């Protein structure tokens, strides 16, 4: 069964620090990977997508993909209390996405 | 631009009742999905559709049915509600999962309680 695995956390970091969120996937055929942020009681919202090996930066967010190791990560620089949420990693599997169970991030002042 | 619209936002059902959760998208996306999310858990795929007239089971289809008569609409039906179906239900859509790696767009969710 194709899986995407994440550490459930919580991951606690102080304000201003770098938060590092990790994800592994089992399907070597997956080509596209996504990070979604989900605030409590809200729907997931896309924050990053990555398709090629290496890093992709967007503001304070950097996604990293290593297809050989089947590993995806998300770095959040200068973490803010407003970044406190659950972060879902997803990889494509044919006609659908496989989601991890999410990592809860807590940024404390 | 409305995106993905789900109705109702909240609903309480009695055991054994039936209901339909509505999902409509105005982005002309071929692919649509229904997920459920239990408290503190990730998203579990119930059913999905790759176009009008085509549906397929996901990870947890038991107790649910779907239909896709138009590109825009993808309703989810619960026939005999059970307490185990208490959850938050999300509908999502995208144009195509792999070409360009199109992400899924989510509706705001339906909170369903079965008592």
DSSP sequence for B26-56: SS--SEEEEEEE-TT--EEEEEEEEETTEEE
Local structure of A11: helix, strand or coil: strand
Q: According to the model, what pLDDT value does residue B100 have?
A: 53
Q: According to the model, what pLDDT value does residue B101 have?
A: 60
Local structure of A51: helix, strand or coil: coil
pLDDT digits (tens, 9 = 90+) for B30-40: 999 999 999 88
- Beta strands B110-114 and B10-13 are parallel
| B103 interface with A at CB cutoff 8 Å | yes
- Tokens representing B60 are 């947890």
Local structure of B99: helix, strand or coil: helix
Say how far apart CA B103 and CA A90 lie, in whole Å.
10
Say how far apart CA B81 and CA A27 lie, in whole Å.
34
Q: According to the model, what pLDDT value does residue A29 have?
A: 87
Residue with more model confidence, A96 or B92:
B92
Q: Are the Cβ atoms of A101 and B106 closer than 8 angstroms?
A: no
Q: Is the pLDDT of residue A56 over 60?
A: yes
- List the beta bridge partners of residue A103: A87
CA atoms within 13 A on the CB side of A100: 31
pLDDT digits (tens, 9 = 90+) for A29-48: 888 899 999 999 999 999 99
| B38 interface with A at CB cutoff 8 Å | no
Q: According to the model, what pLDDT value does residue A13 have?
A: 97
Say how far apart CA B68 and CA B50 lie, in whole Å.
9
Q: According to the model, what pLDDT value does residue A34 have?
A: 93
pLDDT digits (tens, 9 = 90+) for B50-100: 999 999 999 999 999 999 999 999 999 998 999 999 999 999 998 876 655
Q: According to the model, what pLDDT value does residue B98 have?
A: 60
Q: Is the pLDDT of residue A53 over 80?
A: yes
> Which among B35, B43, B101 is the nearest to A32, CB-wise?
B101
pLDDT-based confidence at B41, cuts 50/70/90?
A: confident
Q: Is the pLDDT of residue A17 over 90?
A: yes
| B27 interface with A at CB cutoff 8 Å | no
Average pLDDT of the residues of chain A: 93
């Amino acid at each position: 069964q194709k899986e995407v695995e994440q550490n459930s956390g919580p991951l606690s970091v102080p304000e201003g620090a770098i938060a590092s969120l990790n994800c592994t996937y089992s399907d070597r055929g997956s080509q596209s990977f996504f990070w979604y942020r989900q605030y409590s009681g809200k729907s997931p919202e896309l924050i990053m997508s990555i398709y090629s090996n290496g890093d992709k930066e967007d503001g304070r967010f950097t996604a990293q993909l290593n297809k050989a190791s089947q590993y995806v990560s998300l770095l959040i620089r200068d973490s803010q209390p407003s970044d406190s949420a659950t972060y879902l990693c997803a990889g494509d599997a044919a006609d659908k996405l496989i989601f991890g169970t999410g990592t809860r991030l807590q940024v404390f002042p | 631009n409305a995106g993905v619209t789900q109705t109702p936002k909240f609903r309480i059902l009695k055991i054994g009742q039936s209901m339909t959760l509505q999902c409509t998208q105005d982005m002309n996306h071929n692919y649509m999905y229904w997920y459920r999310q239990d408290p503190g858990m990730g998203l579990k795929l119930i059913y999905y559709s790759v176009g009008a007239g085509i549906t397929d089971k996901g990870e947890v289809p038991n107790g649910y049915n779907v239909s896709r008569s138009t590109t825009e609409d993808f309703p989810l039906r619960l026939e005999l509600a059970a307490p185990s179906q208490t959850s938050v239900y999300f509908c999502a859509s995208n144009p195509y999962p792999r070409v360009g790696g199109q992400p899924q767009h989510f509706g705001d969710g339906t909170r369903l309680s079965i008592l």
